[in-house]
Amino acid sequence: MELTDELKAFFIETAKTLKGSDRRIFMARVVKALGKGGQRHAEAELGWNRRTIRKGTRELESGTCFEDNFAARGRKRAEEHLPNLLTDIKAIVDGQSQVDPTFKTTRLYTRLSAAEVRRQLILQKEYSDEDLPSEETIRVKLNKLGYQVKSVQKSRPQKKIPETDAIFDQLDKAHAAADEDETVLRLSMDAKATIPIGLFSRNGKSRIIVKAMDHDFEPDEKLTPYGIFLPKYDELYLYFTSSHVTSDFIVDCLEDFWLAVQARFPQINTLLLNQDNGPQNHSRRTQFMKRITEFTDEFQLTTQLAYYPPYHSKYNPIERVWGVMEKHWNGSLLDTVETVLNFAQTMTWNGHHPVVKLVEKTYQKGVSLTPKEMAELEERFERLSDLGKWFVRISPIPQ
């Protein structure tokens, strides 16, 4: 058979479309048709491998197809020469992991990186650096074992107290009534975690180069934000203090807020305050209840305290604001008080910039009433039956 250019192209393209034994048998038939010296011609003219041709010839003559053992090719898996590797990885990671908090999957979320797992294999399990596979291979092993690197996420709280459901039912009723009543203004109030002032990394990303200190030393100063949020109007008022967030500080912020907005709300005669039942503002905190009662009398407003149950603070609307704030200034250096305030002023919540103030007054912790004074004050409070710790109504004494 004469190999013309057309035949060459035909044989080459046909061989490419076939796989395994079909390809080898086709090559053997072509070589047989070429006659004496066919293997040499096929190798030179068609680029076929002689070993493949010979294997195909044996298959053609015997009528038996040889099974391709592709699994035996390439580098062997690490656990073949390190039989305890996967067990040792699990032993290291399981002690540092937690189950998916939603219980919807069997996935585990490890705080360890692949590089750290490799380092611990050397330290704890006495592997040598030369024997262990690369960091990337360890990462693949972790994924196959069901471990995934994932940010810690808040899920629905698992802890509940007996009154939790009843508290939420009453909150829903109070909020619905406030939304329908033009004389009631609902406020969501809470403090955020204290912010260290200095050249500290806050993670995040920036389009400009930002260099922070490689260690978090003692900050130059600390600021704590306190927020008053109006869910109905998407308005936010932020108060920053370098002192303590006490009962007096909280009510001072409330007084400043109301002085600023009362002209806008002449129809309001009741404030509904959503708060967490924290140590400085819960309804048994004597100094807080004294100050909130004084506020009620001074401004002739009925005050309704409506607290969220324990372990469920994230449902307070102000909590969503803090997430937006963190996203806004992460990736930047909060190195001065002025920087913190300016970043707070430029954040937006649903298109609105907050009102930002720095409270320079120093507040003393531990201020409280005597049991006798609190007993007299308690006569002013209308506590909800069975939920009196979470729902309190204070009416003003007419002036």
Judge contact between 197 and 220, C-beta under 8 A.
Answer: yes
Please list the ranges in the chain whose pLDDT falls under 70.
1, 69-74, 95-111, 149-158, 200-218, 331
Residue 272 pairs with which residues in a beta bridge? 186, 304
Of 58, 47, 19, 306, nearest to 175 (Cα)? 306
Tokens of 123: 């330290």
Which pLDDT does position 191 carry in this prediction?
95
pLDDT tens for 382-393 read 999 999 999 999
Q: How far is CA 236 from CA 163, 180, 185, 189, 318, in A?
A: 30, 21, 14, 10, 9
How far is it, in rounded angstroms, from Cα 238 to Cα 77?
Answer: 58
pLDDT tens for 281-311 read 999 999 999 999 999 999 999 999 999 999 8
Judge contact between 337 and 357, C-beta under 8 A.
Answer: no
Which pLDDT does position 93 carry in this prediction?
82
**Does the model's pTM come out above 0.85?**
no
Of 318, 321, 398, nearest to 353 (Cα)? 321
Which pLDDT does position 346 carry in this prediction?
92
Which pLDDT does position 116 carry in this prediction?
86
Judge contact between 163 and 387, C-beta under 8 A.
Answer: yes
Which pLDDT does position 8 carry in this prediction?
87
pLDDT tens for 130-166 read 889 899 999 988 888 888 766 655 555 557 899 999 9
Which pLDDT does position 5 carry in this prediction?
86
- Long-range own/partner contacts, residues 131-138 (CB < 8 A, 24 or more apart): 131/82, 132/78, 132/82, 133/78, 137/78, 138/89, 138/114
Which pLDDT does position 108 carry in this prediction?
56
H-helix segments, 129-189: 135-144, 164-180
